Amino acid sequence: MLTDNQISDFSELLGKDNICIVMHKSPDGDTIGSSFALFYALKHMEKNVELVCSDEIPEHFRFISDGQKDFDMLFEPDTVVSVDIASETLFGNKYGYLASRVDYAIDHHFSNTFYAKKTILSSSISSAGELIFELFSAANIEIDSYIAEKLYIAISFDSGCFRFSNTSPDTHRAAAELLKFGFDASSINVKLFDSTSLAQLKLESEVLNSVKQFKNNQISMVTVRYSQIERLGVNENELGGLTSITRRIAGTVVGITVREKSDGEIKISLRSQQESPLPDFDVSKVAGKFGGGGHIRAAGLSMRCSVEEAERKIIEAVLEEWERLYDNPGE
Amino acid sequence: MLTDNQISDFSELLGKDNICIVMHKSPDGDTIGSSFALFYALKHMEKNVELVCSDEIPEHFRFISDGQKDFDMLFEPDTVVSVDIASETLFGNKYGYLASRVDYAIDHHFSNTFYAKKTILSSSISSAGELIFELFSAANIEIDSYIAEKLYIAISFDSGCFRFSNTSPDTHRAAAELLKFGFDASSINVKLFDSTSLAQLKLESEVLNSVKQFKNNQISMVTVRYSQIERLGVNENELGGLTSITRRIAGTVVGITVREKSDGEIKISLRSQQESPLPDFDVSKVAGKFGGGGHIRAAGLSMRCSVEEAERKIIEAVLEEWERLYDNPGE
């Protein structure tokens, strides 16, 4: 449920013009889908509106951006709106300077740093897409099939097609309303979740074959080296699925994916799954120790060191939190 | 939407006693979940009711059957109800004799053969679970968290966690209603979809590495030999995920999985995905040529021959239908 403040902040936004909508760097299905939905809703209101993103839209997400790859600023905005951006660093390089002049941040990350003048934040909601759906409903903004499809994409992407624990009855209700517009949701979900090139599938199987497990196989760590990506010919843009690959190993409570990028940076993704009766393992807490962030069950960070050192550091931090939580809970 | 006839047939069923509910052979998430939901709803009405299934519940589905593995007939029923069973052959061996005396068939397969005295069939609905949810709503049957969870499992299983094209606005509305009961849907979906043993993951990667592709990679065929299953130590019950593994290969319109069982029987699963602007490829039509059946996008059949012969026969039949549909559509 939205608060009155959130609704009035959004109404205020709707009164503005010359608006620039900012997506986060390394754009994903939620930031692209919900930004496009907001963009077209504002267009329909005859606003002057533009979209920007510091990074290129990866090829497999261009069905969301209608083929658009790069975004240039078309005019100097009076109002800046960020969508799905938790902190200033996530604005990226090209449009990083906008971070200090955001008027409205529309976000669902509980790690949001309140960098904006006004923050419309609902951290219990599945996605920026679901939040914008609720804001549109509250503001009686009529949507069409095009906007409905963009919102559906955003929601489906961030809820893992309704399978993650951020999926609530309201998430399904939003999907029910949106699906009424009759777009082909099944082929969207194939594009988002089921479409893997053979090279990717081969990389996945190599990665899974080298899994390291700890704490009675409840912690699984996989490592992807840049040499593997290169040898198999996998596009670096196609690597999104690897961040949650450890979910697929039965019994995994905490999953760690260590990935070496072409420039030597090490990206680490952390995932957790609730295994009752265990209390939740908050991966954003571990990520935070290394300057990263995210949600309780999905977080990320990056390091500049060797693959081996990154593995050692992250497993140490995860084990420390594990032991604090589960092995010596009284301490 | 249910018809008045369907609602009155279901009300009639609710007036009966000494009821036996039959699940289909090789039981899956939908037949188990919806049968258990119906069983407990009838129990709450103080009926004498029992559940049977010709085959054992596979280990990975026993979280749905509350650990129960086998089902014996506890009493001679006055009324027999089949749930999610399209044809007589799907009753299996042990309880095959019940097929000729079914009073009510509750089903969602458009290939249903009308073997029952009364058939409550809605072939446009995602799952037997969604159909039973609608019947419960129409008959004002109050459900509890236990029943809601069983129905959610059935719906999520058969809709591929809301990603398949059988997912409608009503499917999401049902999920929204059911999720209100507060059970842990995320861990259900991990059990249904994301929980794969390392042995299974290794088998999957072997299988995907040997894919054969036809018609510009739009038809993908994978083969699983019993010797692989044995060598990797995969439980034969864990092989359900293989039937849709071809969905994961980008660009696949028709997927074929050929699997050799321990007794030499060859099981073949067919899957299709819509790639607009192509017309739908109805895999149940191809399966029907070999005595199998199913839905437009998911069907199965079995053969008794060598793996090589099975591969040859099925690819021939798929190519024939492909050419009829797409290459020479005028003929």
For residue B184, which residues of chain A lie inside 8 Å, CB to CB?
Answer: 165, 274, 276
Averaged pLDDT, B9-37: 97
CB pairs < 8 Å spanning A and B: 135
Q: Which of A165, A176, A209 sits opposite B176 (nearest CB)?
A: A176
Contact B165 A186 (CB under 8 A): yes
In the sheet with B254-260, reading across from the earlier edge strand, the strands are B212-214, B219-224, B254-260, B266-272, B298-303, B293-294
Averaged pLDDT, A99-120: 95
Summary mean pLDDT of chain A: 92
- Long-range contacts: B120-123, Cβ < 8 Å, 24+? B120/B6, B120/B9, B120/B10, B122/B2, B122/B6
Give the percent of chain B with pLDDT over 90: 72
What pLDDT is recorded for position B262? 85
Question: Which distant-in-sequence residues (6+ apart) come within 8 Å of A312 by Cβ?
Answer: none
Summary mean pLDDT of chain B: 92
What pLDDT is recorded for position B193? 82
pLDDT exceeds cutoff 90 at B195: no
Range with the lowest mean pLDDT among A76-80, B16-20, B196-200?
A: B196-200
For residue A273, which residues of chain B lie inside 8 Å, CB to CB?
Answer: 186-187, 190
**Test mutation, A59, A194, A253, A271, chain B, max B CBs within 10 A:** A194
pLDDT exceeds cutoff 70 at B275: no
> Which residue of chain B is at minimal alpha-carbon distance from A181?
B169
Higher pLDDT pick, A276 / B169: B169
Residue position matching structure tokens 């497990």 = A213
Contact B250 A189 (CB under 8 A): no
- One-letter amino acid at A223 equals T
> Which residue of chain B is at minimal alpha-carbon distance from A212?
B198
What pLDDT is recorded for position B277? 64
Distance CA A256, CA A246 (A): 7
pLDDT exceeds cutoff 80 at A109: yes
What pLDDT is recorded for position A191? 86
**Domains of chain B and any CATH numbers:** 4-192 (3.90.1640.10), 196-327 (3.10.310.30)
Contact B190 A276 (CB under 8 A): no
**Test mutation, B180, B194, B252, chain A, max A CBs within 10 A:** B194
Straight-line distance from the first to the last Cα atom of chain B, in angstroms, rounded to the nearest whole number: 37
Distance CA A168, CA B179 (A): 7
What pLDDT is recorded for position B116? 98
Listed by number, the residues of chain B in 271-300 with a beta carbon closer than 8 Å to a beta carbon of chain A are 273-276
pLDDT band at residue A277, thresholds of 50, 70 and 90?
low
Distance CA A309, CA A287 (A): 16
- H/E stretch holding B243 reads none
Q: Which of A164, A172, A193 sits opposite B163 (nearest CB)?
A: A193
Q: Minimal Cα–Cα distance from A207 to chain B, Å?
A: 11
Contact B186 A274 (CB under 8 A): yes
Q: Which two tokens stand for residue B53?
A: 């299934």
> Which residue of chain B is at minimal alpha-carbon distance from A203?
B205
Averaged pLDDT, A205-214: 86
The answer to whether residue B249 neighbours chain A at the CB level (below 8 Å) is yes
What pLDDT is recorded for position B38? 98
The answer to whether residue A212 neighbours chain B at the CB level (below 8 Å) is no
So what's the ipTM on this one? 0.76
Q: What is the pLDDT of residues B124-155, one digit of tens each?
A: 999 999 999 999 999 999 999 999 999 999 99
For residue A190, which residues of chain B lie inside 8 Å, CB to CB?
Answer: 163, 247, 273
pLDDT exceeds cutoff 80 at B221: yes
What pLDDT is recorded for position A235? 75
Q: Which of B171, B186, B276 sits opposite A165 (nearest CB)?
A: B186
Give yes or no for a contact between B27 and B53, defined as CB atoms under 8 angstroms apart: yes
Averaged pLDDT, B255-277: 86
What pLDDT is recorded for position A45? 97
pLDDT band at residue B40, thresholds of 50, 70 and 90?
very high
Higher pLDDT pick, B63 / A234: B63
Residue position matching structure tokens 């085959």 = B55
- H/E stretch holding B306 reads none
Question: Which distant-in-sequence residues (6+ apart) come within 8 Å of B212 by Cβ?
Answer: B220, B221, B222, B223, B311, B315
Distance CA B260, CA B224 (A): 6
Q: Which of B176, B189, B208 sits opposite A172 (nearest CB)?
A: B176
pLDDT band at residue A237, thresholds of 50, 70 and 90?
low
Distance CA A18, CA A80 (A): 9
Averaged pLDDT, A45-55: 97
What pLDDT is recorded for position B247? 79
Q: Is B276 exposed, middle or buried (0-12, 13-18, 19+ CB in 10 A)?
A: exposed
Q: Taking the mean position of all CA atoms in its chain, how far away is CA A138?
A: 24
What pLDDT is recorded for position B239? 77
What pLDDT is recorded for position A169? 97
Are β-strands B219-224 and B254-260 bridged in parallel, bridged antiparallel, or unpaired?
parallel
pLDDT exceeds cutoff 70 at B276: no
For residue A205, which residues of chain B lie inside 8 Å, CB to CB?
Answer: 201-202, 204-206, 208-209
Contact B173 A176 (CB under 8 A): yes
Contact B201 A208 (CB under 8 A): yes
Q: Which of A168, A198, A208 sits opposite B179 (nearest CB)?
A: A168
Q: Is B314 exposed, middle or buried (0-12, 13-18, 19+ CB in 10 A)?
A: buried
pLDDT exceeds cutoff 60 at A276: no
What pLDDT is recorded for position B273? 81
Contact B194 A165 (CB under 8 A): no
Q: What is the pLDDT of residues A22-47, one digit of tens each?
A: 999 989 999 999 999 999 999 999 99
Listed by number, the residues of chain B in 138-197 with a beta carbon closer than 8 Å to a beta carbon of chain A are 161-165, 167-173, 175-177, 179-180, 184-187, 189-190, 193-197
Contact B249 A209 (CB under 8 A): no
Q: How many CA atoms lie within 13 A of A75 on its CB side?
A: 11
Contact A248 B162 (CB under 8 A): no
pLDDT exceeds cutoff 60 at B212: yes
